[in-house]
Amino acid sequence: MIEKFDIGFAYVWEFDGKFAHKFEEIFQANGLTTFVIGFHNIEEVRERIKEKSLHFHFYLDRAWDVEEQFETLGNLLMKRKTHFFNPYKKVLHAIDKATMHLELMTAGINVPYSIIIPPVTEKEELFISLSNLAILGRPFIIKPCNTTGGGIGVITGAESLHDVLFERKFNHEDKYLLQEKIYPVILEGMRAWFRVFYAFGKIIPVWWDDMTHLYQILSPEEIEKFNLKKLFQITRTINKTVGLDFFSTEIVITPEQKFIVIDYVNDQCDLRFQSAHRDGVPDEIIVSIINAAKSEVVKLKRKYRL
C-alpha cells in the first residue's frame, strides 16, 4: 500500500530547522500533509520511493546542492511525477552568473558593467585591456560564476589585474565575473539596497543593508513614497527569464535613480528567523513565504485534482 503526502521537504542545514518546523505548522494547520527528509531518514525514504510505498505530490529540496544522495532522491521523485519546486536543471541555469548577466541584459534589466572571463582550464593565459579595467573602476568586484551562497568566493575590494589572476587560481573550472561596484542612493538615512523574494508567485521586497547585512521590513507606504514599484516589475521579469518557483535577487537604486540588479538569482535563500539571528530574515517575511508556498500547493492540488 502506498502512503501519500502533499509535500516532501528536504533540508540538512542546522539553521533550517526552525523554518522546517514553521513550514509544517502552517501547512498542517491548513489541512495539508507534510514529510520532512534529512540525514536521519534519507536512505529509508529513497528505498520507499523506489519500491513505490511512499509518494509526495509536491517537493521542495533545500539539500540537493549539499549532499549528492538528496539529488539522487530528487531525480527519482521526478520520474515518479512529483511536482518539483525549483527543478535542478532550471536552478543550474539560473545560478550561473555569466549566463544570467547576458540573459538579464537581453531582457532589458540594468546590470553592472561586467567582464566575463573563462575558467583557467579553458584559457590559462588571460588578457584584459587597461581600458576595460578602467571602465570597471576601483575598487571592483570579483565573483566566481557558479559558486553561490553567502558571498562565498566574492571579493568586493579588488584593485588590479593581479587580484583577478590570484583569485582565479582558486576555482580552476569556474568562469569569473569582474563587476563594477555599485553604490546606492540614500533614502532618508536608508541605503537603497533591497533583497526581493520571489515566492511561488508572490513578490516580497525588503530593505537589506549590504554593509551590515541587516534586514528591515519595507512597508507599503515606503513603496509608494520612494516610488519602488519597479522592484516588482524587475523581479517578475527575472522570474520569466529563469522560471524558478522560489528565489531572491538584490536590487540597488543609484543616485541617478537607476534600478540595477546586483546579485542576480539566489535559489537557496538564507531563511534564518530574525527573532533568533540578528542578520536573519524578518519573521513575518518568512511566514509570508511559507503561506505563498501553501497557497500554491492548494491551487495546484485543485488543478491536478489531487
Q: What percent of the chain is predicted at pLDDT more than 90?
A: 75
Determine whether domain 3-85 maps to CATH 3.40.50: yes
CA nearest 172: which of 120, 123, 116, 98?
120
Side chain identity at residue 20, one-letter code? A
Tell the residue number behind the cell numbers 543593508, with chain if given: 209
- Residue 2's CB is within 10 A of a number of other CB atoms, namely 9
pLDDT digits (tens, 9 = 90+) for 104-125: 999 999 999 988 887 777 766 7
pLDDT reported for residue 116: 85
Q: What percent of the chain is predicted at pLDDT more than 70?
A: 95
Q: How far apart are CA 192 and CA 4, in angstroms?
A: 46
Residue 151: which pLDDT band, with cuts at 50, 70 and 90? low
pLDDT digits (tens, 9 = 90+) for 28-85: 999 999 999 999 999 999 999 999 999 999 999 999 999 899 999 999 999 998 999 9
Same topology for domains 3-85 and 184-269, yes or no? no
Q: How far apart are CA 26 and CA 22, in angstroms?
A: 6
pLDDT reported for residue 183: 95
Residue 245: which pLDDT band, with cuts at 50, 70 and 90? very high
pLDDT reported for residue 155: 77
Determine whether domain 184-269 maps to CATH 3.30.470.20: yes
pLDDT reported for residue 172: 65
SS3 240: helix
> HSE-up of 153 (CA within 13 Å, CB side)?
20
pLDDT digits (tens, 9 = 90+) for 198-218: 999 999 999 999 999 999 999
CA nearest 36: which of 64, 56, 66, 15?
56
Determine whether domain 113-180 maps to CATH 3.30.1490.20: yes
Q: How far apart are CA 184 and CA 190, in angstroms?
A: 9
* Mean per-residue pLDDT, 133-149: 77
| Cβ atoms of 213 and 183 closer than 8 Å | no
Tell the residue number behind the cell numbers 531518514, with chain if given: 41
Q: Where are the domains of the chain?
A: 3-85, 113-180, 184-269
pLDDT reported for residue 31: 98
Omega before 139 cis (within 30°)? yes
